[in-house]
Structure 1
Amino acid sequence: MAGTDDVAIVELGPADAQAGLALSTEAHWNQNEADWLTFLNHGIVYGVRSGNDLIATAALLPYSVGNAWISMVLVTARFQRRGIATRLVDACLDAAKMRKLTVWLDATPAGTAVYGPLGFTPTVELRRLRLAHPAPPAATLALSTGDLDELIARDRRAMGFDRGPLLRAFCDRAGSRLVSDGKAMALVRDGRVARQLGPLFADDTASALALVDAVAEAEARPLIIDAVHSQAAFVTGLTAAGWSIERPFQRMRFGRPTTQATEQAFAVAGPEFG
């Protein structure tokens, strides 16, 4: 496979979940098999094979009111820097154009340099933080089970479009927790190597930080959170509590916004889902 002219792009199905998981594991990403099945069952996933081996992927996950998310853009190490990822993203954009979808993604710094020339516009910035060894905070906050309808409503206000089916599916997964203290609420779910905390909504920064502390107290596994960078006091509070910043993400949009967001989350569901 010397270049991209002879690359055959194929559409993948649920039987490819384990092969996709092998790619994201090679990249040290946190997705598990359930995440891959979400894309394969509810989205459009393109791939490239070398012989019987899946060596590259990209996914388009439609949401509501003409919006979709691009993610899982992966190329195994020995086939990188051959233009394969760009070809796969182009396939996703073609599929979105046919369906008249505005496309979003969360890009690493390297990805930002690729997606900008393709016509993507930067929007909000994110910061991924990790808590490797959760430890009890100084004070305990009593948590109850959150209201899923409220989470969906707040997520709709923050995103500008509805992701109810996705959030309901997250909550239905084994090990997932939707927690609230009345002033803040968050979803916690399993990932391959760490628990993902988000989306997280709160009335104020202090309530958001108190909820994160309470979640950390109850969790034994490492935690990751993708915090909204403009929530500066929240990010500062996390680092003061022992969270380490791993990497930035830049949210980008291809196409015109379809609706206006009216609320800002403190943390998002993850770069693969938005």
Structure 2
Amino acid sequence: MAATDAPPILKLGIDDALAGLVLSTEAQWNQTEDDWRVFLHEGVVFGIRDGARLVATAALLPYSGNNAWISMVLVSGKHRRRGLATRLVDACLQTARQNGLTSWLDATPDGAAVYGPLGFTPTLQLRRLKLVKPARAEAPPTSSATLDALRMRDRRATGFDRTALLSAFAQRYGSRIVAANGAIALVRDGRTARHIGPLFADDAAAALALVDAIVRSETSPLLLDAVASQGAFLDGLTSAGWTVERPFQRMRFGPATVTGEEMPFAVAGPEFG
């Protein structure tokens, strides 16, 4: 196919949330329609259509301090190996450069092999863990945790102001913020599993105790994206029955702009950072 025959890259709108959900569901990802609406409302989502059907996407979600997250890089099965993902990531990077943004992403091992030659620098590593729960639960732990407390801890750890993102999470049906003994986390719905994160704590013991309290009050499968360098936390999770599903490599394109004051124990998800 000649370059002039390549399907155009389009900017998607809020009405494309369901079409995006079809793509992420095909890939067996955990995003919901509400997640897609965050990207479409707060960021820029590029897409490629085959006729009326959306067949590829990539999103750029801006944060504070001239930073942005690249994610939702998806291509429908029959349209892979045509360079669509590369074109869409290039569109994200071009938009980021035009706006003076440093770009971040969390890549699978295969993705990291692609993004490295493009100029992305590896930073920390993540491990996605899953726990399948029986269909019974204790009463949720009492907690006076607030969105403002979570937002402040999130900024201290990431260096980003993510008020819009955390507010969108917290306002959803079924979401809750839980805190105890110097640890705080957000729990929200996903398409197939509930997600714990971000999670911050003074130490691994407090982080594990909070996860245990959350687990005992949940009935659905649970996902958690742990920071790999938090070894005691990871060991405690696997000892409690959590299984590692896959690794992610966090990568940065552009100059470092922020330094967190603490290391999180779990992040909001590879699509959000």
Q: Same fold (TM over 0.5)?
A: yes
CA distance in 2, matches of 1:256, 1:205: 31
User: Which position in structure 2 is the counterpart of 1:88?
Assistant: 88
Q: Aligned with 2:258: secondary structure?
A: coil
Residues 141 and 210 in structure 1, CA contact (< 8 A), matched pair in contact too: no
Q: Is 1:34 aligned to residue 26 of structure 2?
A: no
Distance 1:91 1:26, change over 3 A: same
Shift of 1:143: 3.6
Distance 2:9 2:159 in 1: 32
- Asked whether the 8 Å contact 1:109–1:249 carries over to 2, the reply is yes
Instruction: Note the 1:110-259 alignment, pairs <5 A.
Output: 110-133=110-133, 142-259=141-258
Tell me: CA distance 1:3–1:145, structure 2 relative to 1, closer, same or farther (3 Å).
Answer: farther
Aligned length: 273
Q: What is the identity percentage for the equivalent residue pairs of Structure 1 and Structure 2?
A: 63
**Taking structure 2 as the reference length, what is the TM-score of the superposition?**
0.96
For structure 2, which runs of at least 5 residues remain unmatched after alignment?
Answer: none
Cα RMSD, aligned residues only: 1.9
Q: Which runs of 5+ in 1 are unaligned?
A: none
Runs of 4+ more than 3 Å apart:
1-5, 134-137, 139-143
**C-alpha distance in 2, partners of 1:89/1:131?**
32
Give the 3 Å change call, closer, same or farther, for CA 141–183 of structure 1 in structure 2: farther
Indicate if the aligned counterparts of 2:141 and 2:214 stay in contact, CA closer than 8 A: no
**C-alpha separation in 2, matches of 1:5 and 1:163:** 40
Whole-Å separation in 2 of the counterparts to 1:177 and 1:4: 49
Matching residue of 2:74: 74
Counterpart code for 1:133: K
The Cα of 1:134 is off from its aligned counterpart by 5.1
Q: Secondary structure at the match of 1:54?
A: strand
Question: Secondary structure, in 3 states, of the residue corresponding to 1:267?
Answer: coil
Q: Is the 8 A contact 2:140 2:217 kept in 1?
A: no
* Structure 2: distance between partners of 1:144 and 1:263: 23
Structure 1 counterpart SS, 2:187: strand
